[in-house]
């Protein structure tokens, strides 16, 4: 498939007004996307767990305009007008316009809220862009009712990607691959696809407890971070490594090899941050407490044999990953030994989820 396949056929129906509500979850990458070309084309393939509890709920209300020409919208966050979000949405609408030409005929009211605390350091761009893309696709499906289910989800992921790269992995569950990879049939740089490889029982309902180490604004945005992979001395090796790590992970998931899983996942997290530390300019997003937690997790795993591991996204928070069967003892360990390193002892219990939902 290429980009042109997402330009719609002439619409066969019209719709005056209405509204759609979708929720879309956040996701956490196991093999990380870091570095891109063109308009959100990933430099390497990635795979993520779709989350369940951390999500954005968006209502898109629409009203046909007298004079179509340019889209217009109001944006509300938790019911209150939020001007500061306008530039991001405007940019998104400008980029997707050619794929959803109907938007110029409508005035939209977008009302969005997150289930996770506002300044938790959890990026809402993935869940937010995915929820908005789902709402737009619901409207487009009304205008072109012959659209297939497969196309509906694929295009939602394609649009979400244009808003925020990793958002394309938030449309579906439970694991999603984004970016071409030899061993993942149907994988694409343009949209996320459900991971359809074998997954051993131990990896079902995997738990993710998110430790909120630092809730402040990041000093360096993901956009800038991705950009610093251009001309990065280790970029090519890193991209090659990501392909190899996805192959290793696929094998570990099929074989239920949790040690191999842990090795790939922790190495990916540290590599992501190593890329930040070795770019020019260099930067560090981990905090001292991030390292304290990592060391505690290693000690606990060594001592007890409980297969708990960590991953990081582009920030200081730590995602603690473990099989469901160990949930009670790992939570006890987290409460006893890790919460002291979290801001206001805050954490979020999450697990693998199924993707966006129409509400
Ligand atoms: O989608 P972005 O541009 O916010 O980039 C996300 C990058 C990481 O979270 C660090 C890795 C990933 O694959 O999600």
pLDDT in tens, 180-230: 999 999 999 999 999 999 999 999 999 999 999 997 777 889 999 999 999
Interval 150-164: pLDDT, tens: 999 999 999 999 999
Q: Residue 164 CA: which ligand 1 atom is closest?
A: 1
Q: How far apart are CA 300 and CA 228, in angstroms?
A: 35
Q: By CB neighbour count within 10 A (0-12 exposed, 13-18 middle, 19+ buried), where does 134 fall?
A: buried
* DSSP-assigned beta bridge partners for residue 309: 321
164 C-beta closer than 6 A to ligand 1: yes
Q: Residue 31 CA: which ligand 1 atom is closest?
A: 13
Interval 116-134: pLDDT, tens: 877 666 778 999 999 999 9
Q: How far apart are CA 238 and CA 246, in angstroms?
A: 12
Which distant-in-sequence residues (6+ apart) come within 8 Å of 304 by Cβ? 329
Cα 26 to middle of ligand 1, angstroms: 11
Would you say residue 67 has pLDDT above 90?
A: no
Tell me, what DSSP letter sits at residue 71?
A: -
Fold of 206-351: Alpha-Beta Plaits (3.30.70)
Q: Residue 169 CA: which ligand 1 atom is closest?
A: 14
122 C-beta closer than 6 A to ligand 1: no
CB neighbours (10 Å) of residue 81?
Answer: 10
Enter the CATH code of domain 3-197.
3.30.230.10
Cα 222 to middle of ligand 1, angstroms: 7
Q: Residue 126 CA: which ligand 1 atom is closest?
A: 1
Going from the C-alpha of 322 to that of each of 9, 205, 258, the distances in angstroms are: 46, 9, 10
Same fold, 3-197 and 206-351: no
Task: Kindly report the average pLDDT of the chain as a whole number.
Answer: 96
Domain segments of the chain as ranges: 3-197, 206-351
pLDDT of residue 101: 97
Cα 166 to middle of ligand 1, angstroms: 5
Residue with the two structure tokens 């990081």? 312
pLDDT of residue 44: 98
- The model's pTM is 0.97
Lowest mean pLDDT among 56-60, 89-93, 124-128, 246-250: 124-128
165 C-beta closer than 6 A to ligand 1: yes
128 C-beta closer than 6 A to ligand 1: no
Cα 244 to middle of ligand 1, angstroms: 19
Interval 13-44: pLDDT, tens: 999 999 999 999 999 999 999 999 999 999 99
pLDDT of residue 119: 66
Percent of the chain scoring above 70 in pLDDT: 99
36 C-beta closer than 6 A to ligand 1: no
Which among 3, 26, 111 is positioned nearest to 60, based on CA atoms? 111
pLDDT of residue 117: 78
- Compute φ and ψ for 291, nearest 5 degrees: -70, -35
pLDDT of residue 66: 86
């Amino acid at each position: 498939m290429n980009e042109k396949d997402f330009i719609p056929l002439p619409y066969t129906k019209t719709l005056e007004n209405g509204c759609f509500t979708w929720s879309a979850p956040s996701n956490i990458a196991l093999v990380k996307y870091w570095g891109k070309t063109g308009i959100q084309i990933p430099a390497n393939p990635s795979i993520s767990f779709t989350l369940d509890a951390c999500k954005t709920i968006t209502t898109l209300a629409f009203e046909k305009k007298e004079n179509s020409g340019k889209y217009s919208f109001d944006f509300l966050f938790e019911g209150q007008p939020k001007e500061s979000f306008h530039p991001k949405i405007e940019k998104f609408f400008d980029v997707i316009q050619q794929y959803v030409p109907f938007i110029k005929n409508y005035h939209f009211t977008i009302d969005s809220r997150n289930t996770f605390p506002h300044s938790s350091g959890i990026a809402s761009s993935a869940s937010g862009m995915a929820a908005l893309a789902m709402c737009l696709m619901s409207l487009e499906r009304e205008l072109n009712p012959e659209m297939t289910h497969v196309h509906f989800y694929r295009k939602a992921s394609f649009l979400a990607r244009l808003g925020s790269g990793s958002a394309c992995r938030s449309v579906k569950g439970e694991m999603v691959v984004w970016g071409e990879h030899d061993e993942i049939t149907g994988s694409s740089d343009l949209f996320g696809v459900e991971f359809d490889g074998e997954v051993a029982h131990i990896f079902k309902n995997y738990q993710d407890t998110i430790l909120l180490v630092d809730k402040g604004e990041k000093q360096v945005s993901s956009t800038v971070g991705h950009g610093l992979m251009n001309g990065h001395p280790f970029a090519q090796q890193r991209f090659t490594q990501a392909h190899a790590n996805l192959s290793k992970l696929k094998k570990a998931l099929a074989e239920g090899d949790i040690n191999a899983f842990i090795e790939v996942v922790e190495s990916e997290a540290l590599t992501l941050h190593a890329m930040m530390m070795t770019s020019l300019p260099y930067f560090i997003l981990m905090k001292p407490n991030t390292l304290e937690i990592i060391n505690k997790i290693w000690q606990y795993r060594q001592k007890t044999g409980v297969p708990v591991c960590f991953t990081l996204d582009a920030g200081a928070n730590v995602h603690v990953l473990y099989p469901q069967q160990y949930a009670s003892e790992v939570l006890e360990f987290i409460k006893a030994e890790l919460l002291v390193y979290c801001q206001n002892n805050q954490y979020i219990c999450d697990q693998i989820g199924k993707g966006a939902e129409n509400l």
